[in-house]
Structure formats: C-alpha cells, structure tokens
Amino acid sequence: MKILVTGASGLIGTQLCKHLLSKGHTLHILTTRTPWQVENEQTQIFRWAPKNNDIDDKALEGVEAVINLAGAKINQRWTTKSKAAILKSRTESTRLLFEIIQKTQNKVHIINASAIGIYRSNLNKQYTETDKVFSDAFDGVVVRQWEEEAKQFEKLSCLTTILRIGLVLSNVGGVFIPLSTPTRWGLGTWFGNGQQWQSWIHIDDLVGVIDYCLQHQLVGCVNATAPNPVRQRNLVRVIAKVAGAPQFLPGLPKVVLSFFLGEMHKLLFDSIYAKPQKLLKSSYQYKYSDITSCVTDLIH
C-alpha cells in the first residue's frame, strides 16, 4: 500500500515509518523541513507549509492511506504565540489535507492523531470513546477543534479514524526519559499527590494499533491507550522497582511546577482514565497491557 505520513520525523512517526517499511509499504512523507535524502527506494519526501497553505500535490498521487501526525509540541511553555502555533499547526494542516483530498477526489483511509486530553480531567471517571465530557482547558479545546477538522473527511466518504492517543512511552523520546532518568538515580518523584490517572501506551503498541486500524479499517474515535492505566505515583514506583532504585522523595507541589512551567503544568496534574473500549472489543493483541511489562521492556 502507498501511505502518506505527516509528522514522520517525530517520536511516533519515526517508529511508525520503520514499521510500515518493514511490512513492504511504500511511503510518501510530507514534511515542513527541508527534504532529506533517503536510503531506501520505498520512500519519497515532499514538502508542505500548512501555515502558507502550501503543499506539493504530487504527495497524494496513488496514495491509499494518510496518517496525519503533524503538530507543534504541546509540552512547551504556553504563551499567546505558542498557543496559536499549537492549535494552528494541527487545524490548518488537517484542513489543508482535506482540501487537497477533496480536490483530487482520492478516497483515502485517513488516520488522524488526536489525544486523550479531549476528556475532562477527573480522578474517578473512566472514559470510553462514547463519552462526551470534554475538557474546556486549552489543550482540550485544541484537541476538539482538531477532531472537528478531521471529521470533515467523513463528508468525502473517506474511511476516517481518529486516534485519541494516550501518553506514549518510549525509550528514544517523549516523557519516559525525563521521568525515568532521575528515578533510576533514586530521585524519582510524582506530581502533587500522584493520584492522577495516566493512560499510557507503549510505542510498539501504538504503532501496532495504527497498523491494525489500517488493516481492519477500524474507524471513528479510538482510544489508543493500554487497557490498564496507572496512577502517576504507581508509575514512578514501578520504574524505581524495575530499575532497582530506591524511591523516597515526596511528590512535587503544584505551586513549584506552576512557577517553573506556567499554565502548561496542568498537563502533569490532569487525571484521565481512557479505556480503549473499541480496541478491547477488536481482535487487536496488545504486546504490553500492564505497566510493569512496559517499563521492564523500556528499561532493559
């Protein structure tokens, strides 16, 4: 299959592209960077600049599926300028893909990234894909607008999968490295009282889920999380245990993190238990469904 991937140079995109190539797919990569040299003949690189409404039309030629992962990093200080960049890098890029697919009338299967941050933080509630209790915080609003853009593809009769991705755990990037490094040195700590739910997913499973959605045409909103979310305090304790390190520090107070990180500190305190109902009802087999097996793999 010929697949177009945006955000391919990111944490998820890099692993996903490796996997898709290993399965014999051909890739078209749309990047905001200067196109780079690729060593394999299965990959072609195209440039786009969503903020200028600029895209190389050839990127869509012969493509059967589009995996849209593009978006500016959300874990940066939230200023007026960065907030606009975080939002527009998702909505404008998704809209530009919509416009070109509408123009070319190419009936692709679109898999659009989204995030569990769409759900309202709650220490007790378990969310499934049918819940509509959405967050009014900045990140929640971004995800809602992003999903609204992605849902437009349904109007073009394109198969449309919206992946509400949880906290991606990987040992080559993302949150796991800053979380696990101090913990391995006995300096691990959680945020506040650490009771927040973290709906995580191992990077290999996320790649597996994307592949599964492609192969089985799983559409609509899909919580891309492991079946067993964990409280943040337990996540740190499991990392310490697997690494054989002591864990004695108390939680970091909210006021300290708020001072250093500004409004963005809320991401560390949000409690979202997102149950992957659709995947659990499907035949997808998780490689890592509990946090101990996931952390053991990442550390060893």
Ligand X SMILES: NC(=O)c1ccc[n+]([C@@H]2O[C@H](COP(=O)([O-])OP(=O)(O)OC[C@H]3O[C@@H](n4cnc5c(N)ncnc54)[C@H](OP(=O)(O)O)[C@@H]3O)[C@@H](O)[C@H]2O)c1
- DSSP classification of residue 250: P
Q: Which is nearer to ligand X, 147 or 243 (CB)?
A: 147
Q: Which is nearer to ligand X, 90 or 233 (CB)?
A: 90
Question: At closest approach, how far in Å is the CB of 157 from ligand X?
Answer: 25
Ordered DSSP codes for 70-135: ----SSS---HHHHHHHHHHHHHHHHHHHHHHHHHT--PEEEEEEEGGGBPP-SS-EE-TT---B-
Question: At closest approach, how far in Å is the CB of 116 from ligand X?
Answer: 7
- For residues 151 to 190, the per-residue mask of contacts with ligand X, x marking binding by CB under 6 A and - elsewhere, is --------------x-xx-----x----------------
Q: Report the helix count and the strand count for the chain, using DSSP H and E.
A: 10, 14
Is 31 among the residues that bind ligand X (CB under 6 A)?
Answer: yes
- Contacting residues for 186 by C-beta, under 8 A, at least 6 apart: 240, 245, 246, 247, 248
Q: Which is nearer to ligand X, 249 or 263 (CB)?
A: 263
Neighbours of 268 (CB within 10 A): 19
Q: Which amino acid is at 56?
A: D
Is 103 among the residues that bind ligand X (CB under 6 A)?
Answer: no
Is 89 among the residues that bind ligand X (CB under 6 A)?
Answer: yes
Q: Which is nearer to ligand X, 95 or 184 (CB)?
A: 95
Is 198 among the residues that bind ligand X (CB under 6 A)?
Answer: no
Q: Which is nearer to ligand X, 9 or 128 (CB)?
A: 9
d(CA 209, CA 15): 13
Question: At closest approach, how far in Å is the CB of 146 from ligand X?
Answer: 8
Is 10 among the residues that bind ligand X (CB under 6 A)?
Answer: yes
Q: Pick out residues in 46-75 that bind ligand X (CB under 6 A).
A: 50, 69-74
Could you tell me which residues are beta bridge partners of residue 111? Answer: 67, 161
Is 102 among the residues that bind ligand X (CB under 6 A)?
Answer: no
Question: At closest approach, how far in Å is the CB of 250 from ligand X?
Answer: 26
Is 207 among the residues that bind ligand X (CB under 6 A)?
Answer: no
- Contacting residues for 6 by C-beta, under 8 A, at least 6 apart: 13, 29, 30, 31, 48, 66, 67, 68, 69, 70, 93, 97
Q: Which is nearer to ligand X, 72 or 252 (CB)?
A: 72
Is 112 among the residues that bind ligand X (CB under 6 A)?
Answer: no
Using CB under 6 A, list all residues that contact ligand X. Answer: 7-13, 31-33, 50, 69-74, 89, 93, 113, 115, 165, 167-168, 174
